[in-house]
Every structure is written in C-alpha cells, then in structure tokens.
C-alpha cells in the first residue's frame, strides 16, 4: 500500500460527535492547524451550527451536518454533502459515542442495544462509507476506542464491550484494506479517563452522580493524537499511562486486577458533586452540548508522557538509551586497572670486591672466576 498522508493544511476532515468533548476539542485543533475544510457531525444541530460559526469566524471553512450515526442513511448523506461541498474528504474521525452506568441486572436490554447501535454500528457505518470513497484517492480512518478496549470496567460493562468490538472491527478493517492494497490507513485511538461531558451525558442507573476513574486527562491530548494520526501512519495511540497500566496488568495478573476493580469500582466512578441536569442522558436524543470539559471539580492532567513516547518513538528510544547508560555508569563498578609491578633496575654484572688484610685496597675476583683473556696472553701463574 503506497499512500502518503497529506499535511493537515491540505485536508478535508469529517468528525462525528463534534458537538462536545473530544470531538469539539479535535475540531478546534484542526482549525488551529489551518485545515482546509471541516465537516462537523452530531445529532444536536443547534450546537453544531454554533461550533461552525465559531470556527468560520476564525478563518476555517466549516459546515454543520446534523446526523444520527446509528442510521446508515444519515452518514451516507454526510458523505454526499461533503463531496458536494468540498469535492472529497481525506480523514474521517469516528468519535460519536454514548454511555451507560449501572449493574447488568438494572439496565434494560433495549438500552444496551441502543448503546451498541451508536458506539459500534455507528462506527462501522462511518468506516465502511469512508473506506468506499477513499479507495479511489486515499485517506485516513481514525476510530475512537478506549483503554477499555483492553480491559472491562465494572458498572460500564456495555460501554467496555462496545469498545472491545470497536477494536476487533478496526483491526479487521485495517488488515482487509492492506490485503487488497487500498490506499487507506486505519488508526485506533485509545483514551484513558478523559474529563469531558461524557459522564453527564450518560444514562445513569446508579444511586449517585457519575465520574470517570482517576486520573482524568485533558481532552485536548486526545485531539492532539487524532490530528497527529491524520498526518502520520500509526496503528494505535494510547493516551494516559494510568489507563494503559490497568490493561497491561490485567493481562499479567487478571484475577488480581478483577479484585482491585471490585473493591474500587463504585467509589472510583461516582461523585457527590452535583452535575448539570440539562446534559444528563443523551442515549436516545441529543441533550445540551457545546462544552469540551465536564463540570467536575478535578483538574485534568495536561500532559501524557506515554502519548509523547508514541508520537516521537526515535527520540524517546534515544533518551531512554542515554538514561540507561547513565544509570549503568552509576551502578556498575568499573574494572580496576592492573597496577604495574615495580621492576628493580637492572645493573651490569660487577665483580665481587673484598678488603685485603695488608692495608691496600685491591679489587680481586671472587672464587671460581675464570679470566676472560685467552690463555696464551694471560700472565703466568706463580707456583708455590
């Protein structure tokens, strides 16, 4: 598959779920990057038009198309409107989703099916429609999964199950497009807990207000990952180490993680903070939109080192190698240099000397000495 993604400045981008939360943050970030055109999709037409006016006033060409992603004919209309307005589209972001909080015995099956109609079938509809158009000229499909694509969160069982299904579908779609050589790239984005109106839009069967398990991350981090994926081919991007580590531990010690989530599942997902009632429950119809953040008092984390490592893997590898070398230098003892043996100075052979008893100092040869002169030139030896 030979396909080079265009710079954002040359792209037409379709975003579902663009009226609040991650979708709204993503639309604004694309606009800041100078995207050529934006198509904003959600059920809340009034909120969409307000967002479109905001972005148009900043110089971005944006149009609002009200649609229900669970209805394939609505998304077909979105695609056709985009083609009529801009001639084509380059990136399609499937972000629309709804949520349920409660135990399985209290949530009606009708509500569970409705959640899947939006979270799963809405994403399937958008992906297949986008892939069909992109086969001719190329493009990128970006699907919003979750860290719950890897690990189920109790009291959000249906949402977790839908995100498992999203991951399975996204992987299968990617492989099929690659196998046929289609110029389409598919990326799965997996956010951890994100501070958006998601918790207020959820239909709630618990006896307390809902929350996301801490730590919560800023939705602009997810927008950053999505905009990056529109220009750079990545299989998956995960936002937030807190959520990633739960999934990783669940694969190593699943029973231990089960128990930990059972102990903390309720307290981590409820709050005593009074939330905005006009936003509550958008399962079947649109509610108040237009905000990126929830009304919860906690301050979301503005950075994700895990995300940065995925966006810049070469730099990260170099930094980690340097850190590893520095740690090794501190803790690994250096081999001691062998000391050079002190060698005694060598002196030439000297004849042994002794004092004669006649008072004259006279050097004589020691016992056993043989003269080095030839016998014929040696002086005669006296006889005694």
Distances, alpha carbon 33 to alpha carbons 7, 58, 71, 86, 248, in Å: 10, 12, 31, 18, 34
**DSSP percent split of the chain into helix, strand, coil, nearest 5:** 45, 15, 40
Q: Are strands 62-66 and 37-42 parallel, antiparallel or unpaired?
A: parallel
In sequence order, the 6+-apart residues with CB closer than 8 A to the CB of 189 are 142, 143, 144, 145, 222, 225, 226, 229, 236, 237, 239
User: Across-strand partners of 91?
Assistant: 13, 140
DSSP 341: P
- Among 101, 120, 159, 198, which one carries the catalytic annotation? 159
Is 266 assigned a catalytic role?
no
DSSP 194: B
Q: In the chain, which residue ranges form alpha helices assigned H by DSSP?
A: 21-32, 45-57, 72-86, 109-116, 122-137, 157-180, 198-201, 219-231, 241-252, 254-268, 305-311, 313-331
Q: DSSP assignment, residue 9?
A: G
* Peptide bond just before 48 cis, omega within 30 deg: no
Q: How far apart are CA 66 and CA 74, in angstroms?
A: 8
How many angstroms from the chain centroid is the CA of residue 369?
Answer: 90
Residue 161 Cα distances to 122, 265, 290, angstroms: 15, 16, 27
* Contact between 169 and 120 (Cβ < 8 Å): yes
Q: Which residues, at least 6 apart from 253, have a Cβ–Cβ distance to it below 8 Å?
A: none
Please name the residue that has the structure tokens 């690659």.
Answer: 178
Active site residues: 159
């Amino acid at each position: 598959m030979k396909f080079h993604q265009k710079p954002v400045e040359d792209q037409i981008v379709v975003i579902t779920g663009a009226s609040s939360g991650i979708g709204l943050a993503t639309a604004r970030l694309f606009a800041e990057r100078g995207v050529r055109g934006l198509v904003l999709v959600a059920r809340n037409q009034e909120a969409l038009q307000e967002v479109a006016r905001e972005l148009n006033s900043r110089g971005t060409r944006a149009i609002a198309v009200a649609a229900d992603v669970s209805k394939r004919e609505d998304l077909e209309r979105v695609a056709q409107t985009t083609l009529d307005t801009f001639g084509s589209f380059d990136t399609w972001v499937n972000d629309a989703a709804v949520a349920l909080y409660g135990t399985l015995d209290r949530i009606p099956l009708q509500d569970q099916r409705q959640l899947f109609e939006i979270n799963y079938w809405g994403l399937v509809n958008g992906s297949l429609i986008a892939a069909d158009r992109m086969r001719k000229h190329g493009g990128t499909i970006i699907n919003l999964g979750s860290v719950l694509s890897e690990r189920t969160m109790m009291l959000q069982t249906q949402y977790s199950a839908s995100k498992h299904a999203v991951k399975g579908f996204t992987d299968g779609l990617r492989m099929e497009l690659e196998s046929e050589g289609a110029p389409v790239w598919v990326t799965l984005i997996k956010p951890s807990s994100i501070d958006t109106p998601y918790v207020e839009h959820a239909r709630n069967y618990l006896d307390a207000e809902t929350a996301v398990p801490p730590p919560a991350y800023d939705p602009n981090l997810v927008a950053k990952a999505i905009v990056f994926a529109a220009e750079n081919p990545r299989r998956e991007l995960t936002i937030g180490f807190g959520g990633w580590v739960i999934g990783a531990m669940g694969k190593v010690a699943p029973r231990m993680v089960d128990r930990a989530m059972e102990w903390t599942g309720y307290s981590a997902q409820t709050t005593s903070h009074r939330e905005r009632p006009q936003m509550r429950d958008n399962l079947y119809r649109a509610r108040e939109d237009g905000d990126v953040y929830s009304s919860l008092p906690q301050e979301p984390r503005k950075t994700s080192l895990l995300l940065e490592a995925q966006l810049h893997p070469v730099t990260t590898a170099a930094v980690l190698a340097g850190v590893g070398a520095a740690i090794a230098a501190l803790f690994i003892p250096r081999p001691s240099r062998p000391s050079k043996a002190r060698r005694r100075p060598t002196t030439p052979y000297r004849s042994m000397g002794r004092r004669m008893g006649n008072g004259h100092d006279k050097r004589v040869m020691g016992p056993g000495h043989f003269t080095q002169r030839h016998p014929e030139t040696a002086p005669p030896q006296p006889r005694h």
